[in-house]
């Protein structure tokens, strides 16, 4: 029996997502102790699009990203104000089930972190863990193949799925972690500098995967690589000192930014 109460719908008219939006932050403010690091962010994550978050070190990108699936709360001093909705539900509502939320809004970290087990078991583990009912053993292998295909890794590993995941290259490990996240059927995947530990070739392969994922999930990616933001994203948000200084279609942000700070940053003047 499902006893969980459904989280409340957000009340404020401006906090309600439209059909083409999957998440919306309104007046999102974060403080660590007495230090305010986000100053009231209004930002939309569009459905089936890739949103890049850029900005100099320490401006609050990771803090914002971690706000989107409540990983923020792992920091004991974190306080927040404002609203974040996912499909009209207030994700900070007291009735929100965190496990459900983090399945719907998955996270891929900077350092690939496969479990010390085989490629197959890494993905199968995630599938079993995320399933509401225990899946039949025969249902697992096809699902492993499906998510490895979506993560763009299948062709490279299909001949030896029992190999240790930790023997894969860094780029392959990162795609395995994307596959593990996909096993939960997320609506949104958050990625915090997912390519910073990878060589250019592996990076290009991950970028291809990100572009393909758009057909059924939305992606929010933090990156320090301007070319990468431009290549993979549909929208870009530029953060500076806790403010969202610029937000819009990526080509527009890079070619005709409205603020001087954005123009300087994308031109490589600071950061």
Ligand X SMILES: Nc1ncnc2c1ncn2[C@@H]1O[C@H](COP(=O)(O)OP(=O)(O)OP(=O)(O)O)[C@@H](O)[C@H]1O
Q: Which residue lies nearer to ligand X by CB, 58 or 212?
A: 58
CB of 102 to Mg ion, least distance (A): 19
Binding flags for ligand X, 6-35, as an x/- string (CB under 6 A): --------------------------x---
Q: Which residues contact 123 (CB under 8 A, 6 or more apart)?
A: 144, 147, 148, 176, 179, 180, 183
CB of 56 to ligand X, least distance (A): 7
Q: Which residue lies nearer to Mg ion by CB, 67 or 122?
A: 67
> What is the chain's alpha carbon radius of gyration, rounded to the nearest angstrom?
19
Among 3, 34, 77, 162, binds ligand X (CB under 6 A): 77
Residues 123, 180: contact at Cβ < 8 Å?
Answer: yes
| Total residues binding ligand X (CB under 6 A) | 12
Half-sphere exposure of 235 (CA within 13 A, CB side): 18
60 forms part of the interface with ligand X (CB under 6 A): yes
CA distances (Å), origin 97, targets 1, 81, 91, 181, 268: 15, 19, 9, 18, 42
Q: What is the dihedral of CA 133, 143, 129, 5, to 10 degrees?
A: -50
CB of 147 to Mg ion, least distance (A): 27
Q: Which residue lies nearer to Mg ion by CB, 26 or 62?
A: 62
CB of 225 to ligand X, least distance (A): 12
Burial 173-210 (b: 16+ CB within 10 A, else e): bbbbbbbbbbbbebbbbbbbbbbeebeeebbebbbebb
Near ligand X by CB under 6 A, which window of 12-20, 56-64, 174-182, 258-266? 56-64
Helix (H) or strand (E) holding 211: helix 200-213
Q: Which residue lies nearer to ligand X by CB, 73 or 129?
A: 73
Near ligand X by CB under 6 A, which window of 52-60, 124-132, 166-174, 230-238? 52-60
Q: Which residue lies nearer to ligand X by CB, 211 or 224?
A: 224
Q: Which residue lies nearer to Mg ion by CB, 62 or 228?
A: 62
> Which residue is at the shortest CB distance from Mg ion?
62
Nearest C-alpha neighbor of 187 from the set 219, 212, 146: 219
Helix (H) or strand (E) holding 122: helix 119-130
- Residues 23-82 contacting Mg ion, CB under 5 A: 62
- Residues 93-112 contacting ligand X, CB under 6 A: none
CB of 172 to ligand X, least distance (A): 24
Q: What are phi and psi of 232, to 5 degrees?
A: -100, -20
- CA 148 from chain centre, in angstroms, equals 18
Q: Which residues bind ligand X (CB under 6 A)?
A: 32, 37, 55, 57-63, 75, 77
Contacts with Mg ion, residue ranges (CB under 5 A): 62
């Amino acid at each position: 029996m499902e006893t969980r109460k459904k989280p409340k719908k957000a009340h404020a008219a401006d906090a309600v997502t439209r059909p083409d939006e999957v998440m919306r932050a309104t007046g999102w403010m974060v403080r660590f102790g007495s230090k305010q690091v986000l100053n009231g962010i209004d930002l939309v994550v569009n459905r089936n699009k890739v949103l890049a978050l850029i900005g100099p070190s320490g401006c609050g990108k990771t803090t914002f990203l971690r706000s989107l699936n409540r990983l923020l709360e792992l920091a004991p001093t974190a306080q927040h104000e404002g609203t974040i909705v996912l499909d009209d539900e207030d994700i900070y509502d007291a009735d929100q089930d965190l496990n459900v939320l983090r399945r719907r809004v998955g996270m891929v970290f900077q350092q690939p972190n496969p479990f010390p087990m085989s490629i197959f078991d890494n993905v199968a583990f995630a599938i079993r863990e995320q399933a509401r009912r225990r899946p039949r053993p025969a249902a697992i292998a096809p699902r492993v193949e499906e998510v490895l295909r979506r993560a763009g890794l299948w062709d490279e590993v299909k001949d030896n799925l029992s190999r240790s995941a930790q023997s894969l290259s860094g780029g392959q490990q990162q795609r395995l972690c994307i596959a593990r996240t996909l096993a939960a059927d997320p609506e949104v995947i958050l990625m915090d500098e997912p390519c910073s530990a990878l060589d250019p070739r592996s990076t290009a392969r991950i970028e291809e995967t990100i572009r393909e994922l758009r057909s059924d999930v939305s992606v929010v990616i933090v990156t320090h690589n301007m070319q990468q933001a431009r290549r993979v994203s549909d929208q870009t948000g530029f953060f500076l000192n806790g403010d969202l200084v610029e937000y819009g279609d990526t080509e527009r942000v890079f070619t005709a930014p409205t603020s001087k700070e954005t123009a300087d940053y994308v031109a490589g003047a600071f950061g």
